[in-house]
């Protein structure tokens, strides 16, 4: 069966996000009252699988994220 998947990979609480800090500062310099800007990694893909949750969890651990520094969440929905 085929699924549409998206995965969001965030740095764990308390870890620095230098890219986010720079972008947040640039937006404030343009006059926007932005705070706590973060730039998670975000992946979208289709997956052919009989056990999509298990496979996506495994993909995160093996390749998409680093369990030491990241947390992740995903959304999986059937492709109609």
Point out which residues bind a copy of itself (CB under 8 A). Answer: 8, 20, 23-24, 26-27, 30, 32-49, 55, 59, 62-64
Q: How far is the CB of 35 from a copy of itself (least distance, A)?
A: 5
Give the nearer residue to a copy of itself in terms of CB position, either 26 or 68. Answer: 26
Which of helix, strand or coil describes residue 16? coil
CB of 18 to a copy of itself, least distance (A): 14
User: Cα(16)–Cα(24) distance, rounded to whole angstroms?
Assistant: 13
Pick from 51, 49, 63: nearest CA to 7:
63
């Amino acid at each position: 069966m085929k699924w549409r998947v998206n995965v969001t990979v965030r740095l764990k609480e308390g870890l620095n996000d230098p890219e986010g800090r720079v972008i947040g500062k640039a937006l404030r310099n343009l006059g926007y009252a932005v705070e706590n800007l973060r730039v998670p990694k975000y992946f979208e893909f289709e997956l052919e699988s009989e056990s999509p949750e298990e496979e996506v969890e495994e993909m995160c651990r093996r390749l998409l994220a680093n369990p030491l520094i990241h947390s992740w969440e995903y959304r999986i929905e059937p492709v109609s």
